[in-house]
Amino acid sequence: MERISFDIGAPVQGHPESLVHLGGGSPVVIQTMCNTSTQDVESSVAQCREMYRAGAQLIRLTTQGMKEVEALARIKERLRAEGIYTPLVADVHFSSDVALAVAGIADKVRINPGNFARVHEEACDRFRQLIALCREKGTAIRIGLNHGSLGERITSLYGNTPEAMKEAVMEWLRMCEEEDFHKVAVSLKASNTRVMVDAYRLLDKAMREELGHLYPLHLGVTEAGGGDTGRIKSAVGIGTLLREGIGDTIRVSLTENPVGEIEAGRQIVEACEAAPGPIHASSWNEFIIRASVLYGPDLLECRADDCDLSGCTAEGKPLTAEQEDYFKDALLQACRRRFTKPEYIACPGCGRTLYDLETVFNEVRRRTSHLAGLRIAVMGCIVNGPGEMADADYGYVGEGRDHVTLYRGREAVLRHIPQDEAIDKLLELIASDRA
């Protein structure tokens, strides 16, 4: 089976990071995304510099408008002047005009073509325009669909399911085939590990059976949250697929400093290559990732109901009984097997986020930790918020600078709440519903 591969970036002598080879059985590429405002060129350059030093192979920045396109050009110029040639990815959500404008600046453009227009035929026309320009400029495309961003046309045919995610992507890949454009990667992310794994498997099977070749796949568990939970969920979803030979590049989405995503990604890749047996990890983060990759697939597929951690060590010490119980509870919840605490859906934040997402997320988690089984979303903005938190019971979504909208399920019930009041209002809403 042919595995399509291509280069991202442009070769610069003495800078091996300038050209990233994706697909074709090449080593897994580890990428991350800035959570700075792209218009804040100084902060974005500083964060890209940190990411480069930490080993990021691709760096993505949000590019939602023309001002961000101009800023991305300045960021790229500044980085190149410093001798940093890591390829940059523009994250475009809705506007085909923005995608066309940035295609000559970014090394890769991430889009969901279905967002280009309400009328499907019009979206197709705009996607063809983007393909033509990217062919001319040598720019790669990522078709990025998330579980919460499926359009009404697709969900009316297939429901809000992994099958629908696969079918939506295949429509756009067929168009790429028609246009003979193959510099394309694909992602099908979800915050639910079961949905995420099933969607990628279905797409891998469809590409094999219908297309006869495999486009590179970008793996990730979207809105995984932060800390241990985010790492465990990401390791279960990404690790399960990588161990099956599915996946060419990964991003571990964490609601914290995105520089930490790079080491987490590296540990997931290394864990997939490790021999089975007792885990001896140099840190707690390394342990939970390696153990999640090792034991997660069997738990996710219901081939096992528990995992044996005897003989495992972290930081040179045997695990305590409390550590074992804590990890097993978190792993079983990440694998959708047993829910002993709230489930949090939280985006990592990006340039569209206009409040302190990490601090708010940690405070929401602290104040709702007793609400076992409840699904609570904390989202940076309305672009991903309402869609990506579709499975949540309650949602906290950034509405603008320092203001929030609260959701009950998919319904916005309290709008334009000052951030310093929003968590109290969220708890009042939950308490009222549970009374």
pLDDT score, position 380:
82
At a CB cut-off of 8 Å and minimum separation 6, what does 33 contact? 59, 60, 61, 62, 89, 91, 251, 253, 258, 261, 348, 350
Give domain 2-219's CATH superfamily.
Answer: Dihydropteroate synthase-like (3.20.20.20)
Burial of 13 (0-12, 13-18, 19+ CB in 10 A): exposed
Backbone angles phi, psi at 330, to 5 degrees: -65, -40
Looking at the DSSP assignment, which residues form a beta bridge with residue 158?
none
Strands 88-91 and 411-418: unpaired
Class of domain 343-434 (CATH, top level): alpha beta
Q: Which residues of 420-435 are buried (b: 16+ CB within 10 A; e: fewer)?
A: eebbebbeebbeeeee
Taking the domains of the chain in order of start, what are their residue ranges?
2-219, 284-334, 343-434
Structure tokens, 262: 């790079």
**Per-residue confidence (pLDDT) for residue 332, from 0 to 100:** 97
Give the pLDDT score at 383.
65
Burial of residue 304 (CB within 10 Å: 0-12, 13-18, 19+) is middle
d(CA 353, CA 419): 13
Nearest CA-CA partner of 63 in 112, 109, 123: 109
CB atoms within 10 A of CB 224: 30
Residue 275's pLDDT is 87
Q: What does the DSSP 8-state code read for residue 33?
A: E
Residue whose token pair is 């568990």:
221
At 212, list the tokens: 């006869």
What is the distance between the alpha carbons of residues 253 and 394, in angstroms, rounded to a whole number? 21
- Whole-model pTM: value is 0.92
| Token pair belonging to 317 | 């010490």
pLDDT score for 384: 60
Residue 63: name the closest of 36, 83, 86 by CA. 36
Task: State residue 131's pLDDT score.
Answer: 98
Instruction: Please report the pLDDT score of residue 61 as a whole number.
Output: 98
- Which segments of the chain have a pLDDT < 70? 382-387
Alpha-carbon distances, residue 336 vs 59, 146, 233, 319, 350 (angstroms): 31, 19, 10, 24, 28
- Cα 36-68-81 angle, rounded to 5 deg: 75
* H-helix segments, 55-151: 66-81, 96-102, 120-137
Residue type, 224: A
CA angle 19–175–244, rounded 5-degree value: 60
Residue 409 contacts residue 393 (beta carbons within 8 Å):
yes
> CB of 56 within 8 A of CB of 30?
yes
d(CA 417, CA 388): 21
**Residues 78 and 70 sit within 8 Å (Cβ to Cβ):** no
Question: Which among 8, 19, 84, 87 is positioned nearest to 46, based on CA atoms?
Answer: 84
